[in-house]
Amino acid sequence: MESIKDARDHIGEISQDRNPGSNKRNVEDLENALRLLSEELYSSDTHFLLELLQNADDNEYKASKPSFSLTLTDDALLTHSNETGFTRSNVEAICRIGKSSKVKLDGRRYIGEKGIGFKSVFKVASTVWISSRGYSFKFDKDRPLGMISPIWEELPQEQLSKSSSAEGGTFMRLQLSHDCDRERLRKEMTSFDPNILIFLRTLKEITLTIADSNGYSKRVLRGASEPNSIKILLNDEEIVNYVTFTYTVQDMPTEPKRQGITESDILLAFPVQDNPGQPAAHQVYAFLPIRNYGFNFLLQADFFLTPNREDITTSSWNKTLHDAIPMAFAEAVKHLNRTSLRFTWPRCIPSYGELQAPFWDTPFWIEQELMVTCVFRIRRPVWWLEMAIFTYFCSRVVHL
């Protein structure tokens, strides 16, 4: 752990290194690039919330229940994670552009590799304070190179929440800018996607608190995992339940950003419903949500994404994962046939025309896999039900 003196000296060194000097043109160019990166990269003003969550999930934890909290007040957004805290390399990475200190997480999984996501906080914040281990500093975007040039400043104790002071970890305070759409930020926090917890690597609990002049609310999301299933709890009450299945794709193509990685997991999650109707369309995930492509189940894979994380890129790595989805679905059905979904899973088969590119051909290949796989279980061995199953593949209508 860094001593306060060492941490202060380190911040001073970084700040001195960012000294604009006399080359004003280069400084202006870099300032413009930083502003474009922070304000124009993401189409949504609130995408930075996912970036903060991603950073928290990438962190190292000794706590038995890794957790992350967001608290919105009238003039600030406070975050806290009970991680072990910033190292020198973490501090240096957050003060640079495109340099992530947390690239390789384990043999198969990556997240937060671009090193640019944190800058998106400046779309809503004018100043950001960070307190972690021996470090306490801020970024002020109104100063020259203020988004990458840290200033040592002790965060007043009264600005630290009681829980974060007691637990340690990393605390951030985002001072909201005058033109921040607070109401939109408030709505985003009240409608936070609980399914995010299913695919995060580390975090087990997310707390979302709104404490402003309009009132007080607190939502605690927890994941309760068992083999091949997960429940998401909101304030200790179950809100969603999924049967999960993991399919490992072998012989992944050589990829510089995945050096030494030869296999990758596809994870499918199927909703368990009390009154099963046609399942709603769900988002596709690359550990965090990308967007809704039309699937009737949750799909997670280690896709390469565009810089704004809003779409899947074209690459041999992504194509290999894409081509493996039908086999993953067929293998998942074998597992579903041993669960409460054994008679209702056909409702999750995507129909032609429902999926967006690059998955437009996936329904056809899923059907091809199912046609050669012994997957159907019949409630009663009667000929007309067997015919109904055959009719399903001919007419794309489910009557189960």
Give me the percent of the chain exceeding a pLDDT of 70. 78
* More confidently predicted of 54 and 307: 54
pLDDT score of 397 = 42
Measured CA to CA, the distance from residue 177 to residue 73 in angstroms comes to 13
pLDDT over threshold 70, residue 345: yes
Q: Same domain for 148 and 290?
A: no
Residue 119 falls inside a structural domain:
yes
The reply to whether 183 and 298 lie within a common domain is no
pTM above 0.75, yes or no: yes
Per-residue pLDDT for 182 more than 70? yes
Decide: 145 and 34 in contact? Cβ < 8 Å. Answer: yes
Whether 29 and 153 map to the same domain: the answer is: yes
Amino acid at 234: L
Q: Report whether pLDDT(253) > 90.
A: yes
Say whether pLDDT at 175 is over 80: yes
State the average pLDDT over residues 184-192: 89
One-character DSSP codes across 57-124: HHS---SSS-EEEEEE-SSEEEEEE-SS---HHHHHHHTSSS--S--B-SSS-B-S-SS-GGGGGGGT
Provide the pLDDT for residue 279: 78
Which tokens hold the place of 33? Answer: 């690039």
At 243, the pLDDT band (50, 70, 90 cuts) reads very high
Lookup: tokens for 28: 């202006």
In a domain, 234, yes or no: no
**Among candidate residues 330, 242, 252, 339, the one with its CA nearest the CA of residue 285:** 242
| Mean pLDDT across 176-202 | 89
* Lookup: tokens for 226: 């068992």
Question: Do residues 71 and 172 touch, judged by C-beta distance below 8 A?
Answer: no
The predicted-structure confidence for 122-147, as pLDDT tens digits, reads as follows 889 999 999 998 999 999 988 888 88
Q: Is residue 166 part of a domain?
A: yes
pLDDT at 252 exceeding the cut of 50: yes
Based on the domain organization, do 259 and 172 belong to the same domain? no
Q: Contact at 8 Å (CB) between 124 and 110?
A: no
**CA atoms of 112 and 114, how far apart (whole Å):** 6
Within a domain: residue 272? Answer: yes
Model confidence at 91, pLDDT cuts 50, 70, 90, reads very high
Closest CA to 81 of 68, 72, 66: 68
Query: Which tops the pLDDT comparison, 208 or 98?
Result: 208
Instruction: Please report whether residue 201 resides in a domain.
Output: no
- Do 156 and 248 fall within a single domain? no
Mean pLDDT score of the chain, rounded to an integer?
A: 83
What is the distance, to the nearest Å, from the Cα of residue 26 to the centroid of all Cα atoms in its chain?
Answer: 34
Domain ends where: 151, 169, 191? 191
Structure tokens at 72: 């919105």
Q: How far apart are CA 140 and CA 258, in angstroms?
A: 35
Q: Phi and psi of 252, rounded to 5°?
A: -65, 145
Q: Are residues 170 and 262 in the same domain?
A: no
Q: Please state, in angstroms and as integers, the Cα–Cα distance from residue 36 to each residue in 32, 47, 179, 217, following that order.
A: 6, 15, 17, 34
Per-residue confidence band for 110, with pLDDT thresholds at 50, 70 and 90: very low
What is the spatial distance between Cα 117 and Cα 389, in angstroms, rounded to a whole number? 47
Domain count, the chain: 2
* Residue 134 Cα distances to 129, 130, 268, 366, angstroms: 14, 11, 41, 53
The arithmetic mean of pLDDT across residues 55-59, rounded, is 89
| Token pair 């067929």 in the structure block, residue | 330
Give the per-residue SS3 of 180-194: CCHHHHHHHHHCCCC
Contacts of 54 (CB under 8 A, 6+ apart): 111, 112, 117, 287, 288
205 assigned to some structural domain: no
Residues 160 and 262 in one domain: no
pLDDT digits (tens, 9 = 90+) for 355-381: 999 999 999 999 999 988 766 655 555
CB–CB of 77/161 below 8 Å?
Answer: no
Bridge partners, residue 76, by sequence: 175
Residues 184, 251 within the same domain: no
Q: At 343, is the pLDDT very low, low, confident or very high (cuts 50, 70, 90)?
A: confident
Residue 24 scores a pLDDT above 90 = no
Is residue 116, in this structure, part of any structural domain at all? yes
Please tell me whether residues 259 and 147 are part of one structural domain: no
Q: Of 4-8, 163-167, 205-209, 385-389, which has the strongest mean pLDDT?
A: 205-209
Residue 153 has pLDDT above 50, yes or no: yes
Within 10 angstroms of residue 366's Cβ, the number of other Cβ atoms is: 20
Contact 321, 255 (CB under 8 A): no
Strands 205-212 and 67-72: parallel
| 249 and 161 part of one domain | no
| Cα–Cα distances in angstroms (integers) from residue 363 to residues 43, 294, 355, 368, in the given order | 29, 11, 8, 9
Domain end marker among 169, 191, 213 = 191
For residues 82 and 167, the answer to whether their CB atoms sit within 8 Å is yes
CA 160 – CA 167 distance, rounded (Å) = 11
Residue at a domain's end among 158, 191, 224: 191
- List pLDDT tens digits, range 261-270: 999 999 999 9
Q: What is the DSSP string of 319-375?
A: HHHHHHHHHHHHHHHHHHTTSTTTTTGGGGSPPTTTSPTTSTTHHHHHHHHHHTS--
Residues 41 and 172 reside in one and the same domain: yes
Domain extent for 121? 4-191
Q: Is residue 232 part of a domain?
A: no
Are 8 and 101 contained in the same domain? yes
Q: What is the CATH number of the domain that holds 43?
A: 3.30.565
**pLDDT of 336 strictly over 60:** yes
